Amino acid sequence: ITRGIHMSIAKRILGMAKRLSVKKEVAFTGGVAKNKGMIKALEELLGDKLRIPPDPQLVGALGAALIASGR
């Protein structure tokens, strides 16, 4: 059941990504990037490995902090 959910979400994400100019190298950030099943589903559908930072759940907050600091 969980694999089906992961694949369904991954297909939806990739459907939205096709509307963008997605390059071969894709970063996966946010708390969901810690979900091994989601990573596997996305990598399987992409046909490539995702780039995942060590603490993906912090990326949005770090970006917001940089914007707030004026950088």
**pLDDT of 25-59, one tens digit each?**
889 999 999 999 999 999 999 999 999 999 999 99
Between the alpha carbon of residue 52 and those of residues 1, 59, 68, 70, the distances in Å are 25, 10, 24, 26
Per-residue pLDDT at 17: 85
Q: What is the pTM of this model?
A: 0.81
Topology given in CATH for the domain delimited by 2-69? Nucleotidyltransferase; domain 5 (3.30.420)
Tokens linked to 2? 């969980």
